[in-house]
Amino acid sequence: MTQMSIWTDLTGVEHTLKYVDAGGVRTRALQAGTGEPVLFLHGTSGHLEAFIRNLPAHVAGGYAFHAIDMVGHGYTDGIDEPYRIPRYVEHVLAYLDAIGAERAHFVGESLGGWVAGRLAADHPERVGKLTLVAPGGTVANPEVMARIKTSTRLAVETDDIDLTRKRLHLLMHNPAKDVSEELVQVRHDIYHRPDFVRRVGNLLCLQEIENRREDLLSPEQMARITAPTLIVWGAQNPFGDIPEAHRMNESIPGSRLEIFGECGHWPQHEHSERFNELNLAFLGDGA
């Protein structure tokens, strides 16, 4: 199968890749379009390229697309402290302030969903609508945590690109279709930045049980979310079973759950056309 390049996906759409000072953290951001801002947040050890397939449709839909590398991820600066959920939230709020946005719609995938959910619970005035894509942060599963920690450390601390490839393959139901060699190379380069290697322990701190339990998105916190919420889950999600999605759906008042078949941990990428259509209808719904 011929795989399209990241840059091919963006052909014909004016966009800017830039650095923004977000509360003193040099933050890489992909920006495009005009209208209400929609901020896309990636998962653990991820980066903004996770949302390349979503940019053209959301810009065409009349939204200002923003995807960032969260603190210590991608090409955004790291900090010399564990990357805990309140710190991620602080960084995201600083980015909103930096772009002059009183509030935004959020699309958070995995860790990004955890961060967006916590932000929506604690700062409801900053959130329009909330899309949680295979969100993490509601359970502490030692087996899953060990898988994330071990696979990430191996890929970061060993200069073998096949380990990065395997780390990406973990995410997808059909890696042959959805993991391009370009995506592997992008992540491999990120994983081997000296700053990233030096601080990988900070990045993986939420895979330690004591940190994770303190930062979990509790049923009480989810019950405080007032933003209209869409939850999207992959039926073959390797990092969370379907009952986890249903519990989140039950905990967030008025939320809607959509489960994608033949889909792993990146629904927005693996089934981008379906996701884009669904999310744009959700964002455009006046409810």
- Reported as a single tens digit per residue, the pLDDT across 250-283 is 999 999 999 999 999 999 999 999 999 999 999 9
Q: Rounded to an integer, what is the distance from CA 143 to the centroid of its chain?
A: 21
Cβ pair 232, 205 in contact under 8 A: no
pTM of structure = 0.97
Annotated catalytic residue within 47, 73, 265, 269: 265
- Reported as a single tens digit per residue, the pLDDT across 149-205 is 999 999 999 999 999 999 999 999 999 999 999 999 999 999 999 999 999 999 999
CA angle 164, 170, 175 (to 5 degrees): 90
- Reported as a single tens digit per residue, the pLDDT across 91-101 is 999 999 999 99
pLDDT at position 286 over 80? no
265 carries an active-site annotation: yes
pLDDT at position 4 over 70? no
Q: Find all residues with CB under 8 Å of 281, minimum gap 6, and list them.
A: none
Phi, psi of 4 (to 5 degrees): -80, 150
What is the C-alpha to C-alpha distance for residues 242 and 233, in angstroms, rounded to an integer?
8
pLDDT of residue 1: 44
The dihedral sign for the CA sequence 264, 267, 268, 270: positive
Average pLDDT, the chain: 96
